[in-house]
Amino acid sequence: MATKNVRSIEEQVEDWCKAQLRSIKYYTKTESINSEIEEALRKAPSKSGGEGANYPDIKCFLETSDMRRIPVMIEVKGRKGDLIKCDKNGDICNLNKDKEPHYGNIAKYAVNGAVHYAHAILNNTESYKEVVAIGVNGYDTSIGRIYEMGVYYVSKENLFVPKKVGEYTDLSFLLPEYVNGFIKDIDKLFLTDSEIELKKIELEDDIERRLKVINQKMHDEDYGQKIDVGQRVQLITGLVMAGLGVPGKVSPLSVSDLRGDQGEKNNDGQVIMNKISDYLSEKQLPRQKIEMIEEVLRVVFIHSKLQEPKDGESALHTIYADVRQNIIPFLTGELHNIDFTGRLFNVLNEWVDVPDGAKNDVVLTPRYITELMARLCGVNMDSYVWDFATGSAGFLISSMHQMIADAKQKISSPEELNRKITHIKMYQLLGIEKLADIYMLAVLNMILMKDGSSNIIHGDSLTEFEGNYEQGEYNGKPFPANVFLLNPPYSKSGKGFVFVHRALSMMHHGGMAAVLIMENAGSGNGLPYTREILKNNTLVASIHMSDIFLWKSQCANGYLCI
């Protein structure tokens, strides 16, 4: 007899689960565990991908003596073969080959459904950073009833990757007398470095794909009108700021907030600008920087026609609904360390108007290269790092991660560590970017890294920067740089070596620099700057690189000089 024709015993399996949990408080599919979790389950797409709410069969909390409360979502099935669906690597298969939700698997298999609920909670709540997802299945055989289960731990720290906890034959590990042992088991579940890197790349690839879809819609007038190329970066940047909110201070912009009103102070563009202003103020950016950002963003949100409603809905409403669903989830919680603006940088050829002579200058340096260069320069918690053509701030982000990781290893006092991390973000990183669109990306990148105070300067590092802080209590004082990282604009004098010469002349003795150069820059095209640089600096190494830019730059097959 085909399995699909066998009567499901799901109700009996659910009763079996509930009988084991009688000594603790649990909630059935129709009961509310709490308002925040229920709202999160309501917001997320249903198991079948529709707009209906999600209803886990059983819900409860793991509670420890130190007030740690972990939601537990249990999904029950009642046919042989309905426990779990994994991919060829043994991972929970909740995404199809296009990285879209595989609702067929989510609806059919117990573990897949439970993991779906876990992701809904992690994506749509502020209070919860970890969830236990349990799938339970049962079926009858000629020798009796078989029960099977899969127990997985899903957390923001592990980048939402479900980690199997162990093998279990019943639910007794959820009971108070056994919960501490179970907690110890889940606290051992960390992603390996290779798993983290693979997950980051997967997330970054996914977000770039989604950004390209949105960009195409802007081009094809899918939002009711064609969006000018020069407006697209500011538009997405502003919508992301409005959609993030600040926990406890500024609520994220809701799609329903954009009602298509036409008043000067309540049209959709002004509503968005109000959210952006509140967001930037709570990030404690210098007033001058806030005013500059607002001035740039008003062009697209206030002085364009995107806020004008057609059939009751503005283009801003339509675009934001797309951004809210497809982009914002990547930028919340612990996912801030993915390279969002770097991937946005990857579509700059379509999104940003760059003068023809500088086309080769606007190229993303891959994250693995920025991290390598920071390591080669020995970046640590006491480094002062600057970049004279900062782009989307990739070098500064990689340096900041390395500096903070070093501080966490060396500082045992939580209070002292917090002070050091704040100092790193506020005073030990500095970048200069000339192009306004790219500058906006750099500012957004640093904000997404939970840092609104870093020294990102809008200006020409060759003519408008004198080597000083330009904000905060050190405003006007020299930035004590001892690490210089650069992917220079190759259209500039000496194939970009003019930037290297200027930066090194301002640095303290004993500092380190790593610079990406064109293959022919070191064989005469870098003169006269290369000659002057070597009078006072030592070339430690020249590393021949493969095509790290995928033929998007003339620096492909160039060199990394240290």
Phi first, then psi: give them for residue 150, nearest 5 degrees. -125, 130
Three-class DSSP category at 529: helix
pLDDT at 452 (0 to 100): 55
User: For 443-489, what is each residue's pLDDT tens digit?
Assistant: 877 777 666 556 888 899 999 999 999 877 888 999 999 999 998 88
Percent of the chain beyond pLDDT 70?
88
Average pLDDT over residues 280-288: 79
Confidence check: pLDDT of 143 > 80: yes
| Between residues 176 and 550, the one the model is more confident about | 176
Average pLDDT over residues 185-202: 83
Exposure string of 235-265, with b = 16+ CB inside 10 Å and e = fewer, is bbbbbbbbbbbeeeebebbeeebbebeeeee
pLDDT band at 555 (very low <50, low <70, confident <90, very high): very low
User: CA Rg, the chain, in Å?
Assistant: 26
| Between residues 273 and 360, the one the model is more confident about | 273
> Residue 49 in contact with residue 101, Cβ under 8 Å?
yes
Query: Across the strands, what pairs with 63?
Result: 69
pLDDT at 191 (0 to 100): 80
> Residue 506 in contact with residue 533, Cβ under 8 Å?
no
pLDDT at 494 (0 to 100): 80
H or E segment and range at residue 132: strand 130-141
Confidence check: pLDDT of 42 > 80: yes
Distance of alpha carbon 292 from alpha carbon 230, whole angstroms: 17
pLDDT band at 223 (very low <50, low <70, confident <90, very high): confident
> Residue 80 in contact with residue 199, Cβ under 8 Å?
no
Query: Across the strands, what pairs with 107?
Result: none
Distance of alpha carbon 399 from alpha carbon 419, whole angstroms: 18
Average pLDDT over residues 355-365: 53
> Residue 561 in contact with residue 539, Cβ under 8 Å?
yes
User: For 405-436, what is each residue's pLDDT tens digit?
Assistant: 999 999 999 999 999 998 998 899 999 998 87
Q: Kindly give the pairing relationship between strand 144-155 and strand 69-77.
A: unpaired
pLDDT at 531 (0 to 100): 86
Q: Mean pLDDT in the chain?
A: 85
pLDDT at 165 (0 to 100): 95
DSSP classification of residue 3: G
pTM recorded for the entire structure: 0.66
pLDDT at 327 (0 to 100): 85
Confidence check: pLDDT of 103 > 80: yes
Exposure string of 296-331, with b = 16+ CB inside 10 Å and e = fewer, is bbbebbbebebbbbeeebbbbbbbbebbbebbbbbb
Task: Flag the least confident range among 65-69, 101-105, 165-169, 334-338.
Answer: 334-338
pLDDT at 347 (0 to 100): 61
Confidence check: pLDDT of 523 > 70: no
Confidence check: pLDDT of 529 > 50: yes
Q: Which residues contact 486 (CB under 8 A, 6 or more apart)?
A: 387, 388, 389, 395, 496, 499, 500, 503, 513, 514, 515, 516
pLDDT at 550 (0 to 100): 46
Rounded to 5 degrees, what angle do the CA atoms 384, 385, 390 make?
155
pLDDT at 521 (0 to 100): 59
pLDDT at 120 (0 to 100): 93
Task: Flag the least confident range among 36-40, 108-112, 537-541.
Answer: 537-541
User: For 241-283, what is each residue's pLDDT tens digit?
Assistant: 899 888 788 899 999 999 999 888 899 999 999 999 999 888 7
pLDDT at 551 (0 to 100): 40
pLDDT at 510 (0 to 100): 79
> Residue 346 in contact with residue 208, Cβ under 8 Å?
yes
Exposure string of 494-531, with b = 16+ CB inside 10 Å and e = fewer, is bbbbbbbbbbbebbeeebbbbbbbbbebbeebbeebbe
CB neighbour class for 8 (10 Å; exposed up to 12, middle 13-18, buried from 19): middle
Tokens of 32: 């509310």
